[in-house]
Chains A and B, each alone.
Chain A
Amino acid sequence: MRKLKYSLLLSLITLLLTGCYDKTELEQQAYVVAIGVDKGEKENTYDLTYQIANPEVGSSITGGSSDEAPFELVTVQGIDFMTATATANSFVAKNITLDHTKVLFVSEELARSESFLRGMQGASRTSEIRRQVNIVVTKEDTRTFIETNQPQLETRPHKYYQLMLGRSTETGIVPQSTIHRFFQLTEGDADLFLAMYATTQGEDDKTEGNVDEYIAGQIPKEGGNPTQFMGAAVFKEGKMIDILNGEETRIALILDNTLDMKDLLVTFQDPINKEYQVAGDLSKKDETKVEVDYKKEGPTKIDVTVPFQLEVLAVPSLIDYTNHKKHREKLKESVEGELQETADALVKKAQEEYGSDPFYWSIYIRSQFKTIEEYEQADWNKKIWPNADVTINFDMNRIEFGKMLKDSDLEEVWD
């Protein structure tokens, strides 16, 4: 009896060993922080680039003595994200893990083709790639992008991406573009998805125009990392169709309630002295009001009101806006007008060129329908949106002037 008891107990212990099926040693993992996807040579294959972080670099434990590179870059051909990791394992010693991927780079060439959406399906099926991962469209092929990208201050790639993406979405020059949102919008089949646009290839600097009227690659600058994040790639039905510049991206973000918008630093023309510009910090504390009056026959009316606040940061013309009510009102009018103009232009472009909207406004019309069938038959993209009568109203409900009451009187200084 006793023997039986012991042998039973022993055999029970083997049960515990089943826990070892899925054991993974930290040491045996190669953590990918960025995946780059390019068009492969053959149809429907992809060149997949994995940027594998080197955890030894930059950690205080090793005392910074390691001379190894902060990351390793491998490119393999494959038809999806997962099987390609196995191919890559023919020359990477560790098990390639996609759990900690922060960014998904897609080359513009691939994004503009139909095979992009096909490839993305794989990303949603595996549980390794998170829905929080951001999609970034790069002008050049992604391998070149990742190679050329040489951040000086933040060499650890995961930290760099986290900070870079976080900060650039905060300033509103690129939109948040998670895989989650990509699928919601693409499968919802009504609105345009905006993805971050970036490049490391500077082209001829654009010198005319406003500070934000650039797309990545056009920003005149000296020094620093060659990488630029600016503007948004526009996706319609899972396919890239155009690029919005920084200013348009901002307007799109302001008009869209589903995207977070922090403070945006913007410049406007000075309404009194047109040679100068006024710089301000634009913030939206309340939601954009979108009122849709759906008409089955005839154009649907869409009324949009954007309440916002402005904190004036710099007035190079030194006109005293602070103390003159008239001047203030003039500034208010001109700022609202300028925003309105840009927004109207963007709406017009979206209606005529894109045939869909980048603001996720289709959700406001849904309450007019009882079933999905009715809603899909009404057809936002083809019937409602292109013919809609859109009026956008910017409403500045507060203006602040920072901690200075007055600027110095230059006349007196130069006297």
Chain B
Amino acid sequence: MNTDKTLKTKELLAIILLFIGVKMSDSTAAMFSQHAQNAYWLIIVVSLLVMLPPFFLLLYLLRKFKDKNLIELIEHLLGNFIGKFTGFTIFLLSFALMILDSRNYVEEIKLLYFPESPTASIFYIFIAVCFFGAKRGFETIGVTSWIILPFIKISMFFLGFLILGQITWYRIFPIFGNGLDVILTQGIKKASIFSEFIILTIAYTSFRNTKIFQRGSKIGFALVSFELVFFFLLYALIFDYNSIEKLAYPYHDITQFVNFGDFFTNVETFFMVFWLSAAYLRFIIYLYLIAMIFGYVFNVKEYETLLLPLGFITVTLGLLTENAVINELYLRETLLTISTPVFVLLPVLLWLTALIKGDLKRS
């Protein structure tokens, strides 16, 4: 049965690095810096630490119950009714997160590169591209991610390299920013910033074998953590503690900041190309996984047909919020706080049921 599944570890790595790694260039940084100022990079560390046990627990469960993806596992363990309900909750939360996030990216594109275009038309085109990308299927997404990954990462680390001359290490202090308590509470509350790791397990069975997923996702987790912490720290070192909280898009502020020597100035468009393709891939993956979750919850075998309606709903709902600030600092933040317990506790809940039912011993 594995003949049509060709994806290997490298594709999974590429998917993780694009799906989650792009967070370093959106307004996630701005959301955290509102609370902890220069120490906001520690929030990411805390969030990662909070997400780490549930994620590994989930991976452990998936290994025990072979050949089941996230939704199948939930339904297997929690029974049909509760399982469907939980699956649907996960779908709703991650879909809502995606809607708010996509609006964010659209605002970013509009603000920085297409100030005259109406938000709606950028949004439609953005989602249309994502739809056509996702329509190609998971194999194509994986391969495309792998092909495009080096370009994106090289350009991003090249930017990091160019800006190195501007950093001042001492800006890392005072080490706890607005206080250790702020970092811990925010880190725990917003742990669902990495809910993508849980969502990703819906594709558990889509790779050549499940060992690939086990290994690849762990490596991916480590790489993405490193990348995010590195860039968030970089922003904090370039912009001082009072300035960092004023920036909505630190990544793009940096692209406008750097020059290649005296002759090549205003080079942000160079970085924009790579960033844009990374953003496209992120939402292609996002859209596909969410359609997959919906498909498995409601037993829609041909879940790829769901891409179009889901994409359309994304645009319609995404356009409802008034502006990027409300979207990011109010709606997305609240939603992240609400969904954190769900994503963190779900694997624990599954594990406990499995333990009580005695399923773990049998295998």
Contacts and interface: CB of A to CB of B under 8 A. Distances in A.
Interface in B241-262: 241-243, 246, 252-253, 256-257, 259, 262
A132 B257 contact: yes
B86 interface: no
- The majority secondary structure among interface residues of chain A is helix
Interface stretch (A65-73, A107-115, A180-188): A180-188
A333 interface: no
B175 interface: yes
B38 interface: yes
A60 interface: no
A131 B247 CA distance: 13
Given A18-B125, A21-B118, A130 B266 contact: yes
Contact of B177 (A15, A258, A364, A372): A372
B265 to A, nearest CB: 7
B256 A371 contact: no
A123 to B, nearest CB: 13
A130 B178 CA distance: 29
A20 B139 CA distance: 34
A187 B112 CA distance: 24
B37 interface: yes
Contacts of A372: 37-38, 174, 177-178, 241
B241 A188 contact: yes
B179 A371 contact: yes
Contacts of B124: 15
Nearest to B243: A187
A166 interface: yes
A100 interface: yes
A372 B259 CA distance: 32
B176 interface: yes
Nearest to B36: A372
Contacts of A375: 173-174
Interface in A179-224: 180, 183-184, 187-189
Contact of A22 (B115, B128, B171, B262): B115
A199 B239 CA distance: 31
A366 B173 contact: yes
Nearest to B253: A131
Contacts of A22: 113-117
A15 B116 contact: no
A87 interface: no
B175 A370 contact: yes
A272 interface: no
A37 B259 CA distance: 25
A138 B173 CA distance: 35
Nearest to A188: B240
A276 interface: no
A15 B125 contact: yes
A99 B117 contact: no
B264 interface: no
Given A18-B117, A18-B125, A127 B176 contact: no
Contacts of A127: 111-112, 252, 256
A142 B75 CA distance: 73
A34 to B, nearest CB: 15
A107 to B, nearest CB: 26
Contacts of A124: 246
A15 B124 CA distance: 9
Contacts of B242: 187-189
A21 B174 contact: no
A393 B253 CA distance: 38
Contacts of A21: 114, 116-118, 121
Contacts of A166: 262
Q: Contact size class for B? A: 35 or more
Nearest to B263: A162
B137 to A, nearest CB: 21
A286 interface: no
A183 B118 CA distance: 31
B239 to A, nearest CB: 7
Interface string A108-141: 0000000000000000100100111000000000
B270 interface: no
A367 interface: yes
Contacts of B38: 372
A363 interface: yes
B247 to A, nearest CB: 9
A187 B177 contact: no
A364 B174 contact: no
Interface string B91-117: 000000000000000000001111111
A366 B347 CA distance: 41
A160 interface: no
Given A18-B117, A371-B179, A131 B257 contact: yes
Interface in B211-255: 239-243, 246, 252-253
Contacts of A132: 257, 259, 265
B256 A364 contact: no
The listed residue with most A CB atoms (<10 A of its CB), out of B38, B124, B170, B177, is B170
Contacts of B360: none
A28 B262 CA distance: 25
A373 interface: yes
B180 interface: yes
A371 B177 contact: yes
A120 B337 CA distance: 36
20 contacts: A15-B124, A15-B125, A18-B121, A18-B125, A21-B116, A22-B113, A22-B114, A130-B265, A166-B262, A180-B257, A187-B240, A187-B246, A363-B168, A363-B170, A364-B170, A367-B170, A369-B174, A370-B180, A371-B176, A374-B174
Given A127-B112, A131-B253, A372-B177, 4 more contacts: A127-B111, A188-B242, A371-B176, A373-B179
